[in-house]
Structure 1
Amino acid sequence: MPRRDRVAAIDCGTNSIRLLITDITDDGAPTEQVREMRIVRLGQGVDATGRLADEAIERTLQATREYAGLITMLGADRVRFCATSAARDAENADDFADGVESILGVRPQVLTGKEEALASFVGATRGVESARTLVVDIGGGSTELVVGEGSDVEWSTSLDIGSVRLTERFLPSDPPPVAEVTSAMNHLDSVLSPAVAGLDPVASVVGVAGTVTTVAAHALGLPSYDRDAIHGARLSIDEIKPACLSLVQMSVADRRALPFMHPGRADVIGGGALVLDRVLELLPLDTDTVLISEHDILDGIAWGAV
């Protein structure tokens, strides 16, 4: 009988904190028990102040307390808590880490950009047919782009462009006027173009995380957020880009009224969608489609715990 580990993985990003409790056996087959998300906006104002706001820390610790209850109830053998962009950038990240450790008994691991990119790649591509693949992971504070095949990463970059950061810096109006959108696009192009210069074209693209899955739901015209309908969907770039620009141009109220929209994502999804639009415009691609995956860095964090 194969050995089984019950793993609790927590991904704490700039906008959301997510929990996955899953059983992983020696034969590599995971059995998901729980997958939860809370929008806590840990990275509120970090881009401007360099610090985690007290109220943002408390929101995140409250969600951590809720997760601790689930972890205890389901009896996880191992717990791994990983923090990403907001914690990397904040001078008071240790205060937050102390709070997490007092609740869970484990100290957060603050992933470097390269570690974050690798975890995203592993989570997104496990179980996908082996081919040279680009994984696009757009978070609240940063965007990870990773190229690899199988378990081998050939190239990766972590860029300080994410839905929360871009919205706070360039898109303060509701809805944003053309001048703000143009300024944001120019900034994205100035960051992305040199980062991907010289990258050989890729024929397979996988898009992950909340910005991408929300844009996919919009492109598909879903009547509600349907994880099963989104996971594994293959959308053409010609479907995705209009969905991106549609979300950028909407008011927050109109976005919030969309039946698939998480209310905590409505105010920043325009910024994230703009990142996705420019990534698909500027990356060297030998494909006109993107595979949408609900498996991402959270799954990679879980695999890294065993």
Structure 2
Amino acid sequence: MNNLRRVAVIDCGTNTFNLRIVDVGSSAGWIPVFKQRVPVKLGQGGVAKGIITADRMARGLDALAAMKEATRNYAVDEVYVMATSAIRGAKNGHEFVTKTKALTGFDIQVISGQHEARLIQEGITLNFPDGVDEMCLTMDIGGGSVEFILWNDEGIQWAQSFDTGVARLHMLMNLDDPIGPHGVSKMQPYFDDVMAPLSAAIEALQPTLLVGASGSFDTVADMMGTRTRRSRPDHAQTPEAHPVTDPTSLEAWPDLFARLTTQNAHSRAAMPGMDPARVDLMPYSAALIGWVLHHGCLREMCRAPYALREGVLSRIERGLPLLPPLG
């Protein structure tokens, strides 16, 4: 265990800031140390306008200050801070980066949508230790953007990021709550237009498995009762193998879709498995997932526990450059 390095990765998302600290370097797997999730909602009130509002900027800086303290308390050797849609698309994103550096010393790496998609897929691949024997479509629903990756055992065949994240949709569409069938229908032409390249790629490559990358798909799995949760003694200092995917029933999906899109926030909040931080935005996640599933070739769906953070950790552990090559 002398080769262990304690590494922290912070993902500054449009809705949530996520910190994960692990010890890497053991052939038996990573040793989990600490994780923290803060619903910053950095894009609230500004993502569709291309700005970070003053109150959200303050909230984000507070979250990063707390995460800085966590990395100090856990004696982390290396810290990597990644920023995605809300910061890369904001006119004042550089201001957030500069203030973060002054407050915490963190150097934020603002990554492109293409790099984000590939890092997500590097994380997802760890959840398939035996590989796959079919064409798969990974979907990662963020607040500002949604990443899609078409892949098989030969690697990534196509990848793209679209500015159709749920916080952005919430602002752009200005729908009632519940959104209802009318709201779902109103979004369909927008999806058809903006994500036309995805439809073309699906038509060409015919994926059969939809792989949902954590986030909204965690909530879907919780609400369906299919999410696997590991029990682990507090402060266990032993490596653990990477988790595998959880099946998500396509047969149960229409009922969940209907409940998410036809019930109001108060009712959604009372649904078993609902994440309180996602009550307002899960109807938009449901609309996105529903639109993807209407591409008839998809016959199965599952939830993958990993995403961008784990993709970064994987590259660091293997001694690779932080950002994967494009193309």
TM-score by length of 1: 0.90
Partner-residue secondary structure (3-state), 1:14:
coil
Identity %: 28
| Deviations, residues 142-197 of structure 1 (Å, cap 9, x unaligned) | 11111224583221010111111112222432222433221112212332343230
Q: Is the 8 A contact 2:116 2:147 kept in 1?
A: yes
CA distance in 2, matches of 1:63, 1:99: 13
CA distance in 2, matches of 1:283, 1:51: 37
Q: Is the 8 A contact 2:114 2:160 kept in 1?
A: yes
Find the partner of 1:249 among 238, 250, 262: 262
CA distance in 1, matches of 2:296, 2:91: 33
Aligned partner of 2:169 in structure 1 is 166
Partner-residue secondary structure (3-state), 2:251:
helix
Deviates more, 1:159-168 or 1:11-20: 159-168
CA distance in 2, matches of 1:293, 1:127: 6
Partner-residue secondary structure (3-state), 1:51:
coil
Aligned partner of 2:217 in structure 1 is 212
Q: Is the 8 A contact 2:136 2:210 kept in 1?
A: yes
CA distance in 1, matches of 2:217, 2:108: 26
Find the partner of 1:298 among 296, 309, 314: 309
| Deviations, residues 40-67 of structure 1 (Å, cap 9, x unaligned) | 1101133432110010111111111111
Deviates more, 1:268-277 or 1:190-199: 190-199
CA distance in 2, matches of 1:194, 1:41: 28
- Is 1:65 the counterpart of 2:65? The answer is yes
CA distance in 1, matches of 2:42, 2:262: 25
Q: Is the 8 A contact 1:2 1:26 kept in 2?
A: no
> Are residues 191 and 245 of structure 1, via their aligned partners in 2, closer, same or farther at CA, if it must alter by over 3 Å?
farther
Aligned partner of 2:236 in structure 1 is none
Aligned partner of 2:239 in structure 1 is none
- Is 1:176 the counterpart of 2:179? The answer is yes
Counterparts of residues 34-73 of structure 1 (less than 5 Å) = 34-73=34-73
| Deviations, residues 109-158 of structure 1 (Å, cap 9, x unaligned) | 11101110011111112141212432111111111111224583221010
> Are residues 277 and 177 of structure 1, via their aligned partners in 2, closer, same or farther at CA, if it must alter by over 3 Å?
closer
- Is 1:74 the counterpart of 2:74? The answer is yes
Q: Match for 1:64: what amino acid?
A: L
Deviates more, 1:58-67 or 1:210-219: 210-219
Find the partner of 1:156 among 142, 159, 166: 159
Q: Flag as ranges the 4+ runs of structure 1 deviating above 6 A.
A: none
5+ long unaligned stretches in structure 2: 232-242, 318-327
Deviation of the 1:210 alpha carbon? 1.6
Deviates more, 1:176-185 or 1:207-216: 176-185
Deviation of the 1:102 alpha carbon? 2.3
Aligned partner of 1:202 in structure 2 is 207
| Deviations, residues 281-302 of structure 1 (Å, cap 9, x unaligned) | 22743xx221212211121122
RMSD: 2.4
Deviates more, 1:268-277 or 1:175-184: 175-184
> Are residues 5 and 27 of structure 1, via their aligned partners in 2, closer, same or farther at CA, if it must alter by over 3 Å?
same
- Is 1:187 the counterpart of 2:190? The answer is yes
- Is 1:235 the counterpart of 2:248? The answer is yes
Aligned partner of 2:240 in structure 1 is none
Q: Match for 1:236: what amino acid?
A: S
CA distance in 2, matches of 1:171, 1:231: 37
* Equivalences, count: 301
Q: Is the 8 A contact 2:4 2:25 kept in 1?
A: yes
CA distance in 2, matches of 1:25, 1:169: 45
Q: Match for 1:147: what amino acid?
A: L
> Are residues 3 and 255 of structure 1, via their aligned partners in 2, closer, same or farther at CA, if it must alter by over 3 Å?
same
Deviates more, 1:43-52 or 1:273-282: 43-52
Q: Is the 8 A contact 1:3 1:26 kept in 2?
A: yes
